[in-house]
Structure 1
Amino acid sequence: MRALRVLLVIAVILGGLFVAADRIAVNIAEDKAADKIRVSQGLSGSPDVSIKGFPFLTQVASRSLDEVDADLGGIEASADGQRLRLTELTAQFRDVKLTSDYSSIESAASATGTARISYADLTKAAGGGVRVGYAGKKNGTGQVKISPNIGGLPLLDSLEVTGSVSIVGGDTVRLRADRLPALCQSIPSCEERVRKRTDHDWKLSRLPGNLKLSKIESTPDGVSISATGTDVKVTG
């Protein structure tokens, strides 16, 4: 009985040491991955990286991780000198393969991501005194209210139009006025001048893991974005 108790104590100690070593190893790997993602994505600060699954060391031995989550904070896209900021950007990579030297992530079988655009950031990106806000839902779809500042057209000083935010080509956020007021039809070059303020495209060329934008929705709190990918190459 005494020998059995000794064996149990030794097993507990060894198990504790294994768990401690495993957690130390995963923390080092997370810090290293965060630094590589920071460099590859051109981020000002290191993202928060979390490697899921236990034990980590046996995953490394098979060069395959169950899941890697990254909180990148935010990124920016630019068009015509205007910058659009995406915040709360997160990405989740599943069935992740490591490089042959175990130094970094090579690819993931699937990935998902989410981000948000505030109406304040959308307003700033539109530029030229344009204001963008939430306009409620129409036929179950969220819409935005666009208030452009049209210089030299006093009749349109208080113009407000309903618009939408959509995805084009899996990498571009598009802002468009859906329909202009009938008054604009009687003013020469009115539509061209209004749409120059209301219609914009911002291309996101540095989404993590080359994810593709898949869904966008206007909500009272901002514009929410989802992204997906399969067999994605992961930098970092």
Structure 2
Amino acid sequence: MRALRITLIIAVVLGALFVGADRVAVYFAEDQAAEKIRSSQNLSGTPDVSIKGFPFLTQIASSSLDEVDVKLDGVTAGDGEKSVRVTGFDAKLQDVKINSSFTSAVADRATGTAHISYADLTKAVNDPAVTVGYGGTNAAGKSQVKVTGKISAMGQSIERSVESTVSVSGGDTISVRAESIPAQGFPGLEQLIRQKIDFDRKISGLPRGLKLDQVVATGDGVDITLAGSHVNLAG
């Protein structure tokens, strides 16, 4: 009995040491992965990386991670005047394969969400005469944004507020297009207004392979759904 008790104690101690070593290793790996993602994707902030599954060390030994969650708040996507601030970026990457030198990681599949507030979407237009807000739903039940723009035409200052559809194009761009614009008999007025209120904004800086899937206008901004396969997490 004494020998069995000693064996059990040793097993518990060794188990605790293994768990402790496993957790230290995963925390270190998460920090390194976060910095790798930030630098490789040229992000304006450092993401929060969480590696799921236990034990971590056996996953590393097989060069495969069950799941990696990446969260980032307040990243600036795009370049220069065409940048847009994205909040609430949250991606889940599954079946992540790591190369032998641990310099890259590719997920078999990934899903995620992100959010852009109307204040940030308005700033992205980069025109003080244009504002973007919630436009409710159209007759078909599709969510819309309301875009208001001011222009000068024929010696007059003209303001129009129109309901616009918001959609995804090319897997990396949010497009806003007015459904119709009341021109009220002014030749060329619709084109002038569209030059103000129709716009595209590219969401760059996402891991390669992760694309914009859908975008929906809500009361406080637009919600973006992300999806992808063979997503390069870093490298």
Question: Could you say which TM-score interval applies, normalised by the shorter chain?
Answer: over 0.9
- Contact preservation (8 Å) 1:165, 1:218: yes
- CA shift, 1:50, in A, is 0.4
Q: Say if 1:107 and 1:82 are closer, same or farther in 2 by CA, change over 3 A.
A: closer
- CA shift, 1:115, in A, is 0.8
CA deviations on 1:208-230 (whole Å, 9 max, x unpaired) are: 23311111100002100011111
Structure 2 SS opposite 1:7: helix
- CA shift, 1:78, in A, is 4.4
Q: Say if 1:44 and 1:205 are closer, same or farther in 2 by CA, change over 3 A.
A: closer
CA distance in 2, matches of 1:107, 1:83: 27
1:156 aligns with 2:158: yes
1:215 aligns with 2:214: yes
Letter in 2 for 1:4: L
Letter in 2 for 1:122: L
Mark the runs of 5 or more structure 1 residues left unpaired by the alignment. none
Count of residues in Structure 1 that have an aligned counterpart in Structure 2: 231
Mark the runs of 5 or more structure 2 residues left unpaired by the alignment. none
1:75 aligns with 2:76: yes
Q: Tell me which moved more, 24-33 or 184-193.
A: 184-193
Q: Say if 1:46 and 1:206 are closer, same or farther in 2 by CA, change over 3 A.
A: closer
Q: Tell me what 1:54 maps to.
A: 54
Q: Tell me which moved more, 105-114 or 55-64.
A: 105-114
1:233 aligns with 2:232: yes
1:176 aligns with 2:177: yes
CA deviations on 1:161-214 (whole Å, 9 max, x unpaired) are: 111111011111101111111xx1510220111001111111233212331111
CA distance in 2, matches of 1:130, 1:94: 41
Kindly, what percent of the aligned residue pairs are identical? 51
CA distance in 2, matches of 1:137, 1:44: 34
TM-score, scaled to structure 2: 0.92
Kindly report which structure 2 residues correspond to 1:9-48, keeping only aligned pairs within 5 A, or say none. Answer: 9-48=9-48
Q: Tell me what 1:107 maps to.
A: 106
CA distance in 2, matches of 1:104, 1:37: 11
CA deviations on 1:133-170 (whole Å, 9 max, x unpaired) are: 0011223221111110112464733x211111110111
CA distance in 1, matches of 2:184, 2:206: 40
CA distance in 2, matches of 1:202, 1:155: 27
Q: Tell me what 1:146 maps to.
A: 147
Letter in 1 for 2:20: A
Letter in 2 for 1:156: I
TM-score, scaled to structure 1: 0.92
Give the 4+ runs in structure 1 shifted more than 6 A: none
Structure 1 SS opposite 2:175: strand
- Contact preservation (8 Å) 1:185, 1:191: no
CA RMSD of aligned residues (A): 1.7
CA distance in 1, matches of 2:83, 2:230: 30
CA deviations on 1:85-126 (whole Å, 9 max, x unpaired) are: 22211221100001112x233311101121111000111112
CA deviations on 1:67-88 (whole Å, 9 max, x unpaired) are: 1111132232248x33222221
Relative to its length, the structure with more strand (as a share) is 2
- Contact preservation (8 Å) 2:44, 2:76: no
Kindly report which structure 2 residues correspond to 1:108-127, keeping only aligned pairs within 5 A, or say none. Answer: 108-127=107-126
CA distance in 2, matches of 1:185, 1:67: 56
CA distance in 2, matches of 1:10, 1:83: 58
CA distance in 2, matches of 1:13, 1:119: 55
Q: Tell me which moved more, 166-175 or 202-211.
A: 202-211
